């Protein structure tokens, strides 16, 4: 059912005007939704004061002044901090400076004190550490309990988590504990003066960019993919501090038992590549992928592909760039026969240099490319390969 925040409603009558079912009435000093409501939510969308909401009971408004700080979850493995953490710290500092809040990190694990000190070199104000042998391996239930404990103690306004396999398992559980919103795979983050986090992400298959704001819940939570944000830079002087927290061992009682841990074979990751050559719909046959690979090899780069080629079985899923694939930020990306759909562009628009090859002069990829080659890729790519070979021969 639709309810009314009485303290927000100014009785403007806009909801009455837009209701196609005549289910909104004004009774003395209040607005009432009648049984004729079909939950089309036009009244909610058109209310200038955001005084209408969908729910079974009125939610108490949060006191935003009680929540302060931008917190980053630190993901780590075998003594190394995941690079997405430094990207989140960089964005956290940018957001925190706008609203004059501190930057926090939460570090959970076993024997991680050295990692905690390293984080201070990236401009973090406070690192909250839970160091316990029970936390040596990631277990979603134990880590959720500890994360919840830290938020209750520190009350950060914003919490950022990497959109990794670990982050995607942990963040929703933590958000559920606080009955707050969680926006996944954000590509842009900003903050209002009132500390409301503006979370922007592709929606409806990448056809629109949704702008999401959690106005009446704290903390505000978002996950961000690796290679989307600019990483924080390491500094020489430390200004922050490490604070050790302890969680009672008796309260862990994890339902998960780690029987064995085996390291997965590390494969080439296009997210880490400095040079990427992308095959798109312009590639006519599977055998022509060899031409793309030859170009990539000459540049010491890696081969990637668009979704259509992945579905055709011409490349593996870990080579896909886009919303349903990987996000990349190489120094150079060469697209061969890629039209430049929104879904693809969202995964590579942060590249330092974009060189696009397409025979369609109106291809969307040319709108973001730094260098554009209009023509048949079957003519351009072989010439490009030959030229690179000649240059390499000269400087050999």
DSSP line for 48-100 = TT--EEESSSPPPPP-GGG---EEEEE-EETTEE-HHHHHHHHHHHHHHHHHT
Q: Are residues 277 and 361 in the same domain?
A: yes
Compute the residue count for the chain: 396
Query: Does 115 map to a domain?
Result: yes
Query: Does 257 map to a domain?
Result: no
- Interhelix angle for 377-394 vs 289-298, to 10°? 30
Domain boundary among 28, 54, 80: 54
Q: Are residues 20 and 113 in the same domain?
A: no
- The span from the CA of 225 to the CA of 326, in Å, is 9
Q: Are residues 361 and 389 in the same domain?
A: yes
Residues paired with residue 199 on neighbouring β-strands, in sequence order: 189, 212
Q: Which residues contact 253 (CB under 8 A, 6 or more apart)?
A: none
Q: Are residues 120 and 243 in the same domain?
A: yes
Query: How does strand 220-224 pair with strand 158-162?
Result: parallel
Domain boundary among 13, 34, 54: 54
Q: Are residues 227 and 110 in the same domain?
A: yes
Two tokens, residue 306: 């668009």
Helix (H) or strand (E) holding 287: none
Query: Does 156 map to a domain?
Result: yes
Q: Are residues 118 and 46 in the same domain?
A: no
Query: What confidence score (pLDDT) does residue 74 get?
Result: 98
Query: Does 324 map to a domain?
Result: yes
Query: Does 258 map to a domain?
Result: no
Q: Are residues 335 and 371 in the same domain?
A: yes
Residue keyed to tokens 């954000």: 186
Residues 357 and 277 sit within 8 Å (Cβ to Cβ) = no
Burial class (CB in 10 A: 0-12, 13-18, 19+), 116: buried
Residues 314 and 286 sit within 8 Å (Cβ to Cβ) = yes
Query: Does 260 map to a domain?
Result: no
- The span from the CA of 307 to the CA of 278, in Å, is 11
Q: Number of structural domains, the chain?
A: 3
Q: For position 310, which CATH number holds?
A: 3.40.50.1220
Residues 156 and 69 sit within 8 Å (Cβ to Cβ) = yes
Query: What confidence score (pLDDT) does residue 56 get?
Result: 56
Least Cα distance to 220 among 173, 159, 172 occurs for 159
Query: What confidence score (pLDDT) does residue 295 get?
Result: 97
Residues 225 and 271 sit within 8 Å (Cβ to Cβ) = no
Q: For position 155, which CATH number holds?
A: 3.40.50.620
Q: For position 7, which CATH number holds?
A: 3.30.70.20
- pLDDT string in tens for the chain (396-residue length): 788 888 889 999 999 999 999 999 998 888 999 988 988 889 999 999 989 988 755 556 788 999 999 999 999 998 999 999 999 999 999 999 999 999 999 999 999 999 999 999 999 999 999 999 999 999 999 999 999 999 999 999 999 999 999 999 999 999 999 999 999 999 899 999 999 999 998 877 667 788 999 988 999 999 999 999 999 999 988 989 999 999 987 777 788 888 888 877 777 789 889 999 999 999 999 999 999 999 999 999 999 999 999 999 999 999 999 888 899 999 999 999 999 988 899 889 889 999 999 999 999 999 999 999 999 999 999 999 999 999 988 877
Residue keyed to tokens 């055998």: 287
Bond into 8 cis (ω within 30): no
Q: Are residues 209 and 305 in the same domain?
A: no
Q: CA dist 136 to 257, 262, 273, 292, 378, Å?
A: 12, 14, 30, 43, 53
Q: Are residues 215 and 103 in the same domain?
A: yes
Query: What confidence score (pLDDT) does residue 71 get?
Result: 98
Q: Are residues 119 and 231 in the same domain?
A: yes
Query: What confidence score (pLDDT) does residue 256 get?
Result: 85
- The span from the CA of 149 to the CA of 153, in Å, is 6
Indicate the pTM of the whole model.
0.79
Query: What confidence score (pLDDT) does residue 60 get?
Result: 67
Helix or strand or coil: residue 40?
A: coil
Q: By residue range, what is the domain housing residue 25? A: 2-54
Least Cα distance to 323 among 346, 348, 350 occurs for 346
Query: Does 262 map to a domain?
Result: no
Two tokens, residue 314: 């011409």
Query: What confidence score (pLDDT) does residue 395 get?
Result: 78
DSSP structure string for 198-265: EEEEEETTTTEEEEEE--S-SSEEEEE-TTSSPPPPP-S----EEEEE---GGGT--S-------PPP
Least Cα distance to 110 among 94, 93, 133 occurs for 133
Query: Does 59 map to a domain?
Result: no
* DSSP secondary structure code for residue 184 in this structure: E
Residues 148 and 126 sit within 8 Å (Cβ to Cβ) = no
Q: Are residues 180 and 146 in the same domain?
A: yes
- What's the count of helices (H) and strands (E) in the chain, helices before strands? 10, 21
Q: Are residues 290 and 157 in the same domain?
A: no
């Amino acid at each position: 059912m639709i309810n009314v925040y009485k303290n927000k409603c100014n009785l403007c009558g806009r909801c009455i005007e837009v209701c196609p079912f005549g289910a909104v009435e004004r009774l003395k000093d209040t607005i009432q939704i009648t049984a004729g409501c079909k939950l089309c939510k036009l009244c909610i969308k058109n209310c200038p004061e955001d005084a209408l909401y969908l729910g079974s009971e009125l939610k108490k408004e949060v006191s935003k002044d009680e929540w302060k700080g931008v917190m980053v979850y630190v993901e780590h493995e075998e003594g190394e901090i995941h690079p997405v953490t430094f990207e989140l710290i960089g964005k956290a500092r940018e957001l925190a400076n706008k609203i004059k809040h501190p930057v926090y990190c939460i570090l959970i694990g076993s024997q991680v004190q050295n990692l905690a000190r390293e984080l201070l070199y990236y401009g973090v104000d406070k690192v909250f550490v839970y160091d316990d042998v029970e936390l040596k391996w990631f277990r979603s239930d134990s880590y959720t309990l500890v994360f919840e404990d830290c938020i209750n103690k520190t009350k950060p306004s914003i919490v950022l988590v990497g959109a990794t396999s670990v982050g995607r398992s942990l963040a929703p559980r933590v958000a559920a504990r606080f009955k707050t919103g969680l926006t996944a795979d954000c590509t842009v983050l900003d903050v209002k003066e009132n500390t409301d986090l503006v979370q922007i992400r592709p929606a409806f298959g990448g056809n629109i960019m949704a702008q999401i704001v959690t106005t009446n819940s704290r903390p505000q939570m978002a996950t961000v993919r690796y290679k989307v944000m600019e990483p924080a830079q390491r500094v020489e002087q430390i200004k922050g501090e490490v604070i050790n927290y302890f969680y009672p061992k008796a309260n862990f009682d994890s339902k998960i038992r780690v029987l064995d841990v085996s390291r997965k074979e590390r494969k080439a990751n296009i997210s880490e590549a400095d040079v990427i050559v992308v095959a798109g719909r312009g590639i006519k046959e599977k055998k022509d992928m060899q031409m793309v690979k030859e170009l990539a090899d000459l540049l010491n780069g890696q081969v990637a592909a668009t979704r259509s080629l992945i579905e055709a079985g011409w490349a593996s899923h870990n080579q896909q760039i886009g919303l349903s694939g990987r996000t990349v930020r190489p120094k150079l990306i060469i697209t061969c026969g890629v039209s430049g759909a929104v879904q693809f562009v969202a995964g590579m628009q942060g590249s330092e240099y974009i060189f696009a090859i397409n025979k369609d002069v109106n291809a969307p990829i040319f709108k973001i490319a730094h260098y554009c080659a209009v023509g048949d890729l079957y003519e351009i790519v072989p010439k490009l390969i030959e030229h690179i070979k000649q240059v390499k021969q000269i400087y050999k």
